[in-house]
Amino acid sequence: MFKTYYDELLHHFTRRTGTRHAAEDAVMEAYLRALQHMHAGHTIRQPRAFLYHCVRNLLASQARRSAIEADALQCLGVLGAAHSPSPEEQLDARQRLVHLQHQLNAMPAKRRDAFVLVRVHGMRYAEAAAYLGSTTAAVEKHVARALQMLHAESGATAATGRAILLLGRLQHGEPAVTRKAGQQLQRLALRDSDHANALACASRLWAQADGSKLRTVIDLPPAASAPDNPGRRAGLLAIAAMLLAGGGWGARWYWRQPLWNMALQTGLGQHLRQRMPEGSNLELAPNTRADARLYRHRRIVQLLHGEMALEVRADARRPFIVQTSWGQVRVLGTRFSVASHAHQLQVAVASGSVAVYANGAADVSDTAVPSIVLQPGHSVVIDAHGVQAVTPIAPQDVAAWTQGWLVFAQTPLPHAISRWNQYLRTPLVLPEDRADVPLRISGRYRIADPESFLRALQDMYGLQSTRRADGCIALVAPALQRRR
């Protein structure tokens, strides 16, 4: 299947995207999905149609990613501020990076993940334990043993292993643990020459295991709330090995894979709060589906349906993009909400500013001109006709549902009822002969008190609530109710 369709797919989508790199990324990801599909025991009856469908979906939902092979080399210390690496240096850097990946992949999964979180991404032991759903003591031991595995040829003794454990506590422990570890290390150094030598060896190995410069190259392991997908990991490693053997284009594809990916979904009346590894917070309203991905140079949230509140951590090197079927939003650091429904997209900003791009462009580049730049205290709606008028909104009303309130400002009644039905087990309905009447409602209502909303409808429009035989609550005018 690879030999039959690869060149055709690459040629077709290179012409469509205008860039060979983006086409290569999407085509190889499509082959990975085909591999996983077959490993799961499924049969692909029309492989060509399957691959084209996968690539189209990927290009529609993924932003074009910049080349980062030079970043990987720089992380390995090959590139300096005024140094152009020779081909030999580039080859040596790639070989060292591949060797490190092989060493990490040879470790037990828990040991590898603990080491990467602590020595590469700089987490404290307690933070790594919470991230992995483990204990601090287990993380300490995993890191120490991983370091000894990386330097198995060093001839480290049991005393060296003890010193490594204490050095880890000194650098990554909580304050009380750090003080105690420092005292123990002092006693170890003064005990005798053998222990002093063991401490010196441990210090050297610990320094050599500093992987902080590799944060953009070594993937974050999956959090405890996002179980690893063994099929995807195996598929990535298998294809990456094939591509690395095939040249630099394969290396570029491999390094552009997401560092972290999570599918998010809520049901009736549910809220879900998710913190991304880089510090941004996402909160989903009921009946919402989204996909969050963290890349080395970009953060992307695809809002498939529903509403989200976002607090984006500022990172000029890694812009944050929200993709919807109606358009996209690009930010660096701010607090705002995005709602994507069947007929429109709504964006409201509480702080900072966001650039809004209409019509669901496949890629929001650094030079793309936004349809509108939204400032704090403003909201905009995008529908099939493009960007509608900007309206003011109180900052505290942006994503007020996260605080237990539904806020309406001249909101059409059918839309307001739809919002309430995201929380109510007994839904509200309008009779068909009232659904198109241009009734609008304003006000703040507690989600825990829907009766206040029903009273407001009666006061403003004379609509009364009555329970139907199917269990729904119908909103009808008194005259209509009497005739029935």
Least confident of 37-46, 95-104, 160-169, 357-366: 357-366
**What is residue 322's predicted lDDT score, i.e. its pLDDT?**
92
The answer to whether 330 touches 357, Cβ cutoff 8 Å, is yes
Which among 310, 306, 314, 263 has a CA at the least distance from the CA of 282? 310
pLDDT tier, 405 (very low <50, low <70, confident <90, very high otherwise): very high
The answer to whether 302 touches 329, Cβ cutoff 8 Å, is no
**What is residue 192's predicted lDDT score, i.e. its pLDDT?**
76
Calculate helix-pair angle for 2-17, 20-39, nearest 10 degrees. 140
Chain-centre distance for alpha carbon 360? 19
Which among 290, 361, 375, 288 has a CA at the least distance from the CA of 331? 375
- What is the rounded (10 degree) CA torsion for 172, 260, 94, 155? 30
CA atoms within 13 A on the CB side of 135: 3
Q: Give me 382's structure tokens.
A: 């995008």
Q: How many residues does the chain have?
A: 484
Determine the Cα–Cα distance for residues 90 and 403; give it in Å rounded to an integer: 53
Residue 103 has pLDDT above 70, yes or no: yes
Q: Look at the pTM and tell me if it is higher than 0.85.
A: no
**What is residue 264's predicted lDDT score, i.e. its pLDDT?**
87
pLDDT digits (tens, 9 = 90+) for 424-444: 888 888 766 555 556 788 889
- Under DSSP, the state recorded for 65 is -
The answer to whether 128 touches 114, Cβ cutoff 8 Å, is yes
**What is residue 265's predicted lDDT score, i.e. its pLDDT?**
87
pLDDT tier, 445 (very low <50, low <70, confident <90, very high otherwise): very high
Q: Is 319 helix (H, G, I), strand (E, B) or coil?
A: coil
- Under DSSP, the state recorded for 190 is H
Give the residues across from 349 on adjacent strands.
336, 378
Query: Distances from the Cα of 70 to the Cαs of 86, 87, 94, 243, 246, in angstroms?
Result: 13, 13, 11, 17, 18
Query: Distances from the Cα of 10 to the Cαs of 18, 25, 245, 254, 361, in angstroms?
Result: 11, 10, 19, 17, 21
Determine the Cα–Cα distance for residues 417 and 439; give it in Å rounded to an integer: 11
Query: Distances from the Cα of 112 to the Cαs of 115, 145, 149, 279, in angstroms?
Result: 5, 10, 10, 22
pLDDT tier, 283 (very low <50, low <70, confident <90, very high otherwise): very high
**What is residue 307's predicted lDDT score, i.e. its pLDDT?**
93
As a whole-number percent, the residues of the chain with pLDDT over 90 amount to 7
The radius of gyration computed from the CA coordinates of the chain, to the nearest angstrom, equals 28
Residue 186, C-beta contacts closer than 8 angstroms, at least 6 positions apart: none
**What is residue 183's predicted lDDT score, i.e. its pLDDT?**
77
Residue 308 has pLDDT above 50, yes or no: yes
- Residues 134-162: what's their mean pLDDT? 79
The answer to whether 13 touches 27, Cβ cutoff 8 Å, is yes
pLDDT digits (tens, 9 = 90+) for 378-404: 998 888 777 877 888 888 889 899 889
Determine the Cα–Cα distance for residues 416 and 188; give it in Å rounded to an integer: 69
**What is residue 80's predicted lDDT score, i.e. its pLDDT?**
38
Q: Is 436 left (phi over 0), alpha (psi -120 to 50) or beta?
A: alpha
Residue 240 has pLDDT above 80, yes or no: no
Mean pLDDT in the chain? 76
- Residues 450-472: what's their mean pLDDT? 84
Q: What is the CB neighbour count within 10 angstroms for residue 132? A: 20
